[in-house]
């Protein structure tokens, strides 16, 4: 089986508070783009689940979310997955705020469910994903959605109008748990206008949605890292982006474009400085 795992971007990300279970209460609007990992799932005669990726440093055991997804599927559906081998061709940058690992896990869940004759309904599949990671239920659903709670309470939204997306990840990576801990210690200066974002999406207003993009984690990046993300955002806006923000806990920044030529120009300019720069499209 072949499966595609699309990257997600946060159009908004708001942290409403810390919960008793240690997680944070979130409110965020996410969308999928065609920057994607490609997975091949095959059943052989061996035991257990094996994972191969084109990036040598990624774990191939239970530390890989794709492995956890196969295990969670097997336990929930009662279908054994012995002999399953998963090859992952990574294109989504790792630890970048684009849910690459969660999307791989979601692709495994969808593919195995299809292979097994759909024993799990879409909500059951999303709930199975919740055991693997907070972003996995969204990645099972995909498209444009509002995610609340830990990230698992999903409302499908009108799709972000089709546009070009320039995605740029600076060289450094950030630790998600560390940034969540950091956000508890600061008073946020700005919050995203999530209601305005929902209205813009309902009206199919790309410029309105782009203008309302904001992520509270930009406020807690260490100074030097913030200045890199800010300079990428500035570059995107100067090239004609309708709006630009950071995705997830970063450090990837992206801009939305209604003109292909401006998007190509932004991609070319940023590619000169940052290796992980992509020209993508909404899906």
- DSSP class of residue 216 equals G
Residue 142 or 243 having the CB closest to ligand C5P: 142
Q: Which residues, in sequence order, are CB contacts of 96 under 8 Å at separation 6+?
A: 169, 173, 247, 248, 250, 251, 252, 276
Residue 117 or 177 having the CB closest to ligand C5P: 177
Cα R_g (the chain), whole angstroms: 18
134's tokens: 């907070």
d(CA 203, CA 209): 10
Residue 138 or 257 having the CB closest to ligand C5P: 138
Catalytic residue (one of 37, 71, 104, 135): 135
Q: Give residues 11-30 in contact with ligand C5P (rule: CB under 6 A).
A: 23-24, 26
d(CA 177, CA 166): 26
Smallest separation, CB 226 to ligand C5P (Å): 20
Select from 103-111, 132-140, 219-227, 258-266 the region that touches ligand C5P (CB under 6 A): 132-140
Query: Binding to ligand C5P by residue 112, rule CB under 6 A?
Result: no
Is 14 an active-site residue?
A: no
Query: What residues pair up with 253 in beta bridges, in sequence order?
Result: 168, 246
Select from 67-75, 154-162, 175-183, 187-195 the region that touches ligand C5P (CB under 6 A): 175-183
d(CA 190, CA 271): 30
**Contact characters 222-261, ligand C5P, x per CB under 6 A:** ----------------------------------------
Query: Binding to ligand C5P by residue 150, rule CB under 6 A?
Result: yes
d(CA 259, CA 240): 8
Q: Which of 133, 161, 192, 251 binds ligand C5P (CB under 6 A)?
A: 133
Closest CA relative to residue 229, chosen from 259, 209, 249: 249
> Which secondary-structure segment (H or E) carries 237?
helix 223-238
Phi/psi at 251 (5° precision): -95, 10
- Residue whose structure tokens are 């499966």: 3
Task: Give the β-pairing of 49-53 and 84-89.
Answer: parallel
Q: Give residues 181-210 in contact with ligand C5P (rule: CB under 6 A).
A: none
Query: Binding to ligand C5P by residue 134, rule CB under 6 A?
Result: yes
Closest CA relative to residue 3, chosen from 83, 82, 114, 94: 114
Smallest separation, CB 134 to ligand C5P (Å): 3
Q: Give residues 59-98 in contact with ligand C5P (rule: CB under 6 A).
A: none
Residue 155 or 227 having the CB closest to ligand C5P: 155
Smallest separation, CB 25 to ligand C5P (Å): 7
d(CA 140, CA 122): 8
Q: Which of 17, 56, 80, 177 binds ligand C5P (CB under 6 A)?
A: 177
Is 135 an active-site residue?
A: yes
Smallest separation, CB 114 to ligand C5P (Å): 24
Active-site positions read 8, 135
- Give the interface with ligand C5P as residue ranges (CB under 6 A): 23-24, 26, 133-135, 150-151, 176-177, 180
């Amino acid at each position: 089986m072949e499966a595609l795992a699309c990257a997600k971007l946060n159009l908004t990300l708001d942290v409403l508070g810390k919960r008793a279970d240690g997680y944070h209460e979130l409110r965020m609007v996410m969308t999928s783009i065609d920057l994607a990992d490609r997975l091949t799932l095959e059943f052989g005669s061996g035991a257990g689940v094996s994972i191969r990726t084109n990036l040598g440093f990624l774990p191939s055991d239970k530390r890989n979310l794709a492995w956890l997804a196969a295990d969670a599927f097997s336990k929930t559906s009662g279908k054994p997955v012995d002999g399953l081998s998963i090859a992952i061709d990574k294109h989504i940058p790792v630890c970048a705020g684009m849910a690459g690992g969660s999307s791989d896990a979601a692709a495994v869940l969808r593919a195995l469910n299809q292979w097994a004759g759909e024993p799990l309904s879409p909500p059951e599949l999303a709930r199975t994903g919740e055991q693997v990671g907070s972003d996995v239920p969204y990645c099972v659903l995909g498209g444009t959605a509002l995610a609340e709670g830990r990230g698992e309470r999903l409302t499908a939204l009108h799709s972000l109008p089709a546009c070009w997306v320039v995605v740029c990840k600076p060289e450094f990576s950030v630790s998600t748990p560390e940034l969540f801990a950091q956000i508890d210690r600061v008073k946020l200066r700005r919050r995203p206008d999530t209601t305005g974002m929902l209205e813009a999406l309902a009206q199919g207003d790309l410029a309105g949605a782009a203008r309302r993009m904001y992520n509270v984690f930009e406020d807690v990046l260490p100074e030097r890292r913030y200045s890199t993300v800010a300079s990428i955002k500035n570059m995107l806006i100067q090239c004609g982006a309708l709006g630009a923000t950071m995705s997830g806990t970063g450090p990837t920044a992206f801009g939305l474009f209604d003109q292909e030529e401006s998007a190509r120009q932004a991609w070319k300019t940023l590619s000169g400085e940052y290796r992980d720069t992509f020209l993508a499209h909404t899906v």
